[in-house]
Amino acid sequence: MSARIASIEVLPASRSRHLKHCIANCRHGEVGSRETTRGTDVKDPHDQPELPTPAPHGATAVTASITALILGPPTGIAGIMWVLYMVVAIEDHAREYHTREYSEIGGYNTDLIVMGIVAVVIGLTWSVGGSLLLAYMKTGRFLLILASGVALIVSIAQLFNRGFTFLFIPIIVSLLILVLCAVPATGRWIVANEPEPNPLAHDQDRD
């Protein structure tokens, strides 16, 4: 009888110990999980959030485009007037000096006629290139660089050849447009604002 009572008393004690051990393990697991969670939440003080890259400004591209659009038409008109003036002047000289042939006088002034024709082409190219550049097209940048480079070379050549002081104006304008279009900021502005290709248009082309 006493043995049964002892076994009955021992059995609840072992269960209580087992229960306490389970509770301790559960608490230890919770603490570990909390520490793990805290460890994952801790941020490295050296890690800094990435700042958004600022969009490239189009000051150079817009300035070059506006300058080309403003001065393009007057340059073309001035070229046409210059060619007409030179043709009339050659005819007048041929009539005045009968000892000289028309071809001889015209050959002497051929570079001046070519300068007027080049001015017409440059004025037209500036107008088209400025419009295309404002539409974020690389072709506009290429046309402005090409036209400005040709205008710069022709103007400098005629300045040393003929000594025309008024050619300082096209030299400065051509150099300004050339530099503004050639700087990397203009290229980044075009790439950042370049229109994305329309996938529907590609599908239609395939059909």
83-133: pLDDT as tens digits: 898 888 777 666 665 555 545 555 556 778 888 999 999 999 999 999 999
* Highest mean pLDDT out of 94-108, 166-180, 193-207: 166-180
More confident residue, 14 or 155: 155
> What confidence score (pLDDT) does residue 89 get?
78
Indicate the pTM of the whole model: 0.65
- 11-25, 33-47, 178-192: least confidently modelled range: 33-47
Whether 157 has a pLDDT exceeding 50, the answer reads yes
* Highest mean pLDDT out of 33-42, 51-60, 103-112, 151-160: 151-160
Other CB atoms closer than 10 Å to residue 14's CB: what's the count?
Answer: 9
